[in-house]
Chain A
Amino acid sequence: MEFFSESDFETRQFGAQFSKQLKPGAVVCLTGDLGAGKTTFTKGIAAGLGIKYEPVSPTFNLVNAYDGVIPLYHFDLYRLQSTEDLMGIDFDSYLFSGGVCVIEWPKIAYPLLEHYYQVQLLYEGENRRIIIEEVRK
């Protein structure tokens, strides 16, 4: 799946569209440089899932939890060093909770994941190419 976005608004829309295929337990790994739109895309996912609140960047909190029919757990793992650190915030509890996990800076999470969506947000000048792949190990 691929999208071409020319604005934050479109990135958000694509996030909402994409969210329709997310079932309980789904994991979404977002990669992209700073400013590529990872959190914007996540706002779209949240809207698509019917979450009442708009997600904000979890850089400091590590994870933000949002209530919903399917709860949303929004991670930013930039500040953690290793998979062991990730275990230390009880990541597995979120992963197996039946909610949707959206992970920014997912490198240390990959060893714990078997099935996830890989979403790459790539700069193309002012615009973004959003490439989505389903990964099953």
Chain B
Amino acid sequence: MKVLAIDTATKAATVAVTENGALVGEYTLNLDQPHSQKIMPLIENLLKELHLQVQDMDLFACAQGPGSFTGLRIGIAAVQGLARSVNKPSAGVSTLEAMAYSVSRLTNDCVCPVLDARRSQVYYALYKGSAELIAPSLESIDNVLAQLACLGKRTIFIGDAVSLHQNKIQQSLPDSVLAPEILNVNFAYNVAVLAQKKFEAKQAAKPTPEYLIKSYAEKMGEQK
């Protein structure tokens, strides 16, 4: 089974092609350029490099949130467009679950993917192996650390918010592990593998955005 997956939830624009779960090719750019400009040429160039065409893919997948609203829309639109054009299925996966996926298979420790949501807030979740202990949520970094301190389990932090909040994390949870930079960039390979797993378990659904927008607005003291 061939999967084409993309992740445009963060600054990184990343596309991967897998075959039977193994990586065939991946391009990742980590520049401050709009995804609207980057992602389609990246997909096109990768396929060309691999001597593959859109119609060779069996499944199209993307990170569907949380993350940058505009980035997510671009990714979801791209995947839905590609899938429809060749009448193949598409699948959306949680950005956070994809980020945690490979690491959570290596360890019995908890894995906490954290994405910068600005204003000292993060999008986060908590996984232990394949179990989800905390569903994707939006919280201030201080509240997240207080919550995890209560849980009292050693936690591995991964994601673009790690370097931003590393001092706080180390002070609040001294036995936590901060993932090295290599693991804090979103790579589409994770999305591809997770999407295929869900698809084969008949748990996949078409990508729909999971912005966590309502909680964001409420936290900011929504005006109407």
Contacts and interface: CB of A to CB of B under 8 A. Distances in A.
Given A84-B214, A88-B213, A92-B118, A112 B220 contact: yes
A82 interface: yes
Given A93-B68, A93-B69, A93-B70, A87 B216 contact: yes
A108 interface: yes
A121 B138 CA distance: 38
Interface in B184-198: none
Interface residues of A, number: 16
Contacts of A93: 68-70
A111 B118 CA distance: 14
Nearest to A114: B119
B221 interface: yes
A93 B11 CA distance: 12
Looking at chain A's contact residues, the main secondary structure is helix
A87 B217 contact: yes
Given A92-B118, A96-B118, A84 B69 contact: no
Interface in A56-99: 81-84, 86-88, 90, 92-93, 96
B223 A111 contact: yes
A107 B222 CA distance: 10
Contacts of A88: 69, 211, 213
A106 to B, nearest CB: 10
B82 to A, nearest CB: 23
B185 to A, nearest CB: 20
A82 B213 CA distance: 12
A35 B129 CA distance: 61
A110 interface: yes
A83 B220 CA distance: 8
A93 B211 CA distance: 14
A93 B116 CA distance: 12
Given A84-B213, A84-B214, A111 B70 contact: no
A84 B215 CA distance: 9
A92 B223 CA distance: 16
Contacts of A90: 68-70
A108 B224 contact: yes
A92 B116 CA distance: 12
A123 to B, nearest CB: 25
Contacts of B211: 87-88
Contacts of B68: 90, 93
Contacts of A112: 220
Interface string B63-76: 00000111000000
Interface of B: 68-70, 118, 211, 213-214, 216-217, 220-224
Closest 4 CB pairs of A and B: A84-B217, A90-B69, A83-B222, A82-B224
11 contacts: A82-B217, A83-B221, A83-B222, A83-B223, A83-B224, A84-B213, A87-B216, A87-B217, A93-B69, A111-B220, A112-B220
